[in-house]
A and B are shown apart, each in its own frame.
Chain A
Amino acid sequence: MHLPIYLDYSATTPVDPRVAEKMSECLTLEGNFGNPGSRSHVFGWKAEEAVETARRQVADLLNCDPREIVWTSGATESDNLAIKGVAHFYNKKGKHIITSKIEHKAVLDTCRQLEREGYEVTYLEPDEEGIIQPQAVADAIREDTILVSLMHVNNEIGVINDIEAIGEVTRSKGVLLHVDAAQSAGKVEVDLDRMKVDLMSLSAHKVYGPKGIGALYVRRKPRVRLEAQMHGGGHERGMRSGTLAVHQIVGMGEAFRIAKEEFAEENARIIKLRDMLLGGLQDMEEVHLNGSATQRVAGNLNISFNFVEGESLIMAFKDIAVSSGSACTSASLEPSYVLRALGLNDEMAHSSIRFGIGRFTTEEEIKYVVSHVREAVEKLRELSPLWEMYKEGIDLEQVQWAAH
């Protein structure tokens, strides 16, 4: 077993060696280095062929037409292109957009920008399990609503929205649906033939592909129009100009191919490891799982260890790489807005740790993590005045704190 142990797969994943090998074949003079836009020679043709193979591999995982895939630099760009692109194209139809309070910043910040441009945005509240109910979407749709943008799987708490049901709502009301699937593609079943999704953001580096490449799915039937955000040579049918990064695209294609092929087996293995981790921690006092226990992606566990602050826990896990919803790990000093939107109080948000399990996690690693986490929590609780007060039966809610 190698230390430190990587357990932050929701942040990013290592590139699968099979992916890295394919990518390395698209760089040097001996390899497939050409510009897919070059129509006059074999170097261009070969590069174009590799790009189209990758496009088909991505489309295969999602069960859609390869012509519906537009390459971008990643899910953030895809979110920007989808939301701004739709808003600007359909602004004569209306200027109202619906999203949720627990979206990724790439969606929230894009919506904020549109608000500055005169659009109106409704931010839906999740239920206490972290799920956006289809009925809440239906209730928020107005005459002038043009777009609903919701994530499939939440990046912090791993809960899964019922996109199929939400798609039924939006399609019946004639409103476009954009789904950020950065955390779900390859981990949760996505069938775009069945799901009435109009736009979907995808990322390679969350599924063992490289960073710096992603895609936006843009539905052809019924056709979705976008205003381009990047202008230039008219690549990707004018929706996203810029020379195609062949090695990155080939990497994403291979990563998605592997994800499709190994989906069932990998999911079962990861769920087993996750249950082992949860089972190893759950019997401790005041340990809470954040977000739905059932409607949840395989690799994510978001747990609050009450009366212990998240950053100090992370410090104690010297050899375990995880992340925290505590303010202290960010520059903002605000605890996670996602956990707060679930109705958690600030102290529970400060006490949260996100564990991300993935392709290369082993049983041995999980055993090590369980014993070290238990040890660290016990050590820090011995240091915690809140734990002492809790043990003495003092209700912390009733204490007058000198807030600073």
Chain B
Amino acid sequence: MAYSDKVLDHYENPRNVGALDKDSKDVGTGMVGAPACGDVMRLQIQVNENDVIEDAKFKTYGCGSAIASSSLLTEWVKGKTLEEATQIKNTDIAEELALPPVKVHCSVLAEDAIKAAINDLKSKRGES
């Protein structure tokens, strides 16, 4: 299977790899997927009092497309408000990376990851 140049670029030079302090009240963590399914994504966002995402970090266990989807996602969410970040759709990610149909689930996982991270932050703030 041939990968798109964008997948290869993110895979070879993944952006924003790492961890944020998961116990900080400004940090939301979303961990989705399962080892048994072959992919686990952990996305963390650091959000200021104006609801703007100041930093994002990820780590992913999974195929090249899963790594690229999460790397791209961290680039996209930085500087966005929580409201804007919720609008990111898996189809946008799949389109940007030109994922083949068999890899679309990687982009779905990325969408799940940002939603989970936002939910985590909101529950820490007592908003949900």
A-to-B contact residues, CB < 8 Å: 307-309, 311-312, 315, 326-329, 331, 333, 335, 345-347, 350, 382-388, 396, 401-404
Given contacts A326-B63, A383-B14, A386-B61, contact A350 B35 (CB under 8 A): yes
A385 to B41, CA, bound (A): 7
**B79 within 8 A of partner (CB):** no
Given contacts A383-B14, A385-B31, contact A315 B64 (CB under 8 A): yes
24 pairs of residues in contact across A and B, judged by CB atoms under 8 Å: A307-B61, A309-B38, A309-B62, A312-B11, A312-B67, A329-B1, A333-B38, A346-B37, A346-B38, A347-B35, A350-B36, A384-B60, A385-B41, A385-B59, A385-B61, A386-B35, A386-B61, A388-B19, A388-B59, A402-B32, A403-B33, A403-B34, A403-B37, A404-B105
Apart from A328-B62, A401-B36, A404-B33: 8 A-B pairs, beta carbons within 8 A? A308-B61, A309-B62, A350-B35, A383-B17, A386-B61, A387-B61, A388-B59, A403-B36
0/1 per residue, B32-59, Cβ < 8 Å to A? 1111111111100000000000000001
**With a CB–CB cut-off of 8 A, which chain B residues contact A402?**
31-34, 112, 116
A239 to B108, CA, bound (A): 52
Closest to B14 in A: A383
A309 to B33, CA, bound (A): 13
Closest 5 CB pairs of A and B: A401-B34, A347-B35, A346-B36, A311-B63, A385-B59
**B77 within 8 A of partner (CB):** no
0/1 per residue, B1-12, Cβ < 8 Å to A? 101000000010
Find B38's partner among A326, A331, A388 (CB 8 Å cutoff): A326
B-to-A contact residues, CB < 8 Å: 1, 3, 11, 14, 17, 19, 31-42, 59-64, 66-67, 102, 105, 108-109, 112, 116
Closest to B64 in A: A315
Contact A312 B63 (CB under 8 A): yes
Dominant SS among interface residues on chain A: helix
Find A401's partner among B11, B35, B62 (CB 8 Å cutoff): B35
Query: Could you say which of B38, B105, B116 has the most chain A C-beta atoms within 10 Å of its C-beta?
Result: B38
A222 to B19, CA, bound (A): 69
A350 to B38, CA, bound (A): 6
How many Å from the CB of A178 to the closest CB on chain B?
34
Find A311's partner among B19, B64, B105, B112 (CB 8 Å cutoff): B64
**With a CB–CB cut-off of 8 A, which chain A residues contact B41?**
385
Closest to A386 in B: B61
Contact B64 A312 (CB under 8 A): yes
A309 to B62, CA, bound (A): 5
**With a CB–CB cut-off of 8 A, which chain A residues contact B11?**
312, 315
Contact B40 A385 (CB under 8 A): yes
Contact A383 B60 (CB under 8 A): yes
A402 to B39, CA, bound (A): 11
Find A382's partner among B17, B31, B36, B105 (CB 8 Å cutoff): B17
Query: Could you say which of B36, B59, B62, B64 has the most chain A C-beta atoms within 10 Å of its C-beta?
Result: B62
Find B34's partner among A311, A327, A333, A404 (CB 8 Å cutoff): A404
How many Å from the CB of B119 to the closest CB on chain A?
12
Contact B112 A309 (CB under 8 A): no
Closest to B59 in A: A385
A2 to B40, CA, bound (A): 36
A402 to B67, CA, bound (A): 18
**With a CB–CB cut-off of 8 A, which chain B residues contact A384?**
59-61
A403 to B61, CA, bound (A): 14
**With a CB–CB cut-off of 8 A, which chain B residues contact A386?**
35, 40, 61
Contact B38 A345 (CB under 8 A): no
How many Å from the CB of B68 to the closest CB on chain A?
10
**With a CB–CB cut-off of 8 A, which chain B residues contact A388?**
19, 59
**With a CB–CB cut-off of 8 A, which chain B residues contact A329?**
1
**With a CB–CB cut-off of 8 A, which chain A residues contact B108?**
404
Query: Could you say which of A327, A345, A382, A383 has the most chain B C-beta atoms within 10 Å of its C-beta?
Result: A383
Given contacts A312-B64, A315-B3, A402-B33, contact A383 B38 (CB under 8 A): no
**With a CB–CB cut-off of 8 A, which chain B residues contact A401?**
33-36, 40
**With a CB–CB cut-off of 8 A, which chain B residues contact A308?**
61
